[in-house]
Structures are given as C-alpha cells and as structure tokens.
Amino acid sequence: MQPLKIAVLVSGRGSNLQTLIDNIEKTEINGKIEIVVSNKKDAYALERAKNHGIEGVYIGKGNYPENDKRNDKLIEVLKAKKIDLIVLAGYMSILDRKIIELFRNRIINIHPSLIPSFCGKGFYGSKVHKAVLDYGVKLSGATVHFVDEGTDTGPVILQKAVEVDFDDTVDTLAAKVLKIEHELLALAVKLFCEDRLEVVGRKVKIKSSSDIS
C-alpha cells in the first residue's frame, strides 16, 4: 500500500508533530508528511519540519488578513499536495466549513481532555487543565477525534485517562496528558493509514488487521 499523504496543521512547539515524524521515520506509520502548515509565523513546529526536510508554510492573518482568502490558500495548498489526511496538532484556529466538507472524516484532532468533558468553545491549551483542576475531577486524559462542523464534537477515535492528583498543577497535569497525547495521536494516524477506521454514525469502529483486504 502506498503511504498516505499527510498535512499537519500547527500553531506552537509541535511536540505532537515530532511524534508523528519519529513514528513515520521508524516506519510505524504508513504515511508521509507532505507539508506542515502553521497559522503562526514563528511557530517552532516549522523549524521541526525544516530539520526533517519537510516543507513548511505559514498561512495566517499576517500574510492573509482576509478570512476567505486565508481559507482559499489553505485549500489550494492541501489540494496541490493531494492530501489524504489532515492532522490538527495543536492548531489554534477553527477550520472553515469548506475544508471540513472537502475532507470529511479525513481530519483528525487531538484534545487534552476526555471529551465530552472540558471541551468546546474556549477550552484549549492550559485553560483545559485549569478547568479540570478547578472542578476537582479525579480523571482527565486525551481524546483523538474526527473533526466536524462543531468544536470538539466529531466522532471519537481513541481516548485514554490519567489520574488527577490532589497536588497537581496546570503544568504537571499538562505534562501527564501530553505524554498520552503523543501515544494516542500516533496510534490514530497509524490506524487511519492502515484503513482500519470506520465511522458509523457517531461511533468509530476500529477494524482488526484481518478485516483489511
């Protein structure tokens, strides 16, 4: 099977991007990152891409101030690269409906909580972990899901929990969750590239390798 063509959308340091790069280089994932797109000009993730010979491009408010033109440029890039899968790896921007329609069930996002808890509008980054600690729940975690028109509302692919300790801070909880984010995102991309994910309504069926012809 030919490696699937992947685009990774980023906004920050790109640790999840690095995990995908590492897994692809170890041939754990049957895919190739064709392009890394950042909506932040100075995102370190672009440097990570450059270090591994991956094309990186900045498409943000600085060079495309108008929302429609920014979305059109992103679509143009994705189509030109004939992308099979889009991975949102800490991408702090809402995808336009046109992109979601073009890549239905081919966009994966990672969220630092157990959806449907602590997700949706306003829940991103450290704000998620602060909300978890403020509420006093005993478990948090990470979720990988397909992207639909809502915010963190698409079908769940994988989830894993971490215990929230009484003395946890935003930073310590974030570190625990990030560790499983790396694990889950790499596995979800691997499964997608092996054609082992099937969306059935709101559920995602993970097919065994024997089910794949």
| Residues with a known catalytic role | 111
C-alpha to C-alpha distances, 46 to 3, 38, 93, 106, nearest whole angstrom: 22, 7, 16, 22
- Asked whether the bond before 116 is cis by omega within 30 degrees of 0, the reply is yes
Cα–Cα dist 91/12, whole Å: 8
Assigned token pair, 168: 């946890």
Cα–Cα dist 103/212, whole Å: 22
Q: How many helices (H) and strands (E) does the chain have?
A: 6, 9
Cα–Cα dist 42/30, whole Å: 29
Which stretches within 115-205 are classed as H helix?
Answer: 126-135, 170-193
What is the identity of the amino acid at 62? G
CB distance 22 to 103 below 8 Å: no
What is the identity of the amino acid at 39? N
Cα–Cα dist 168/43, whole Å: 28
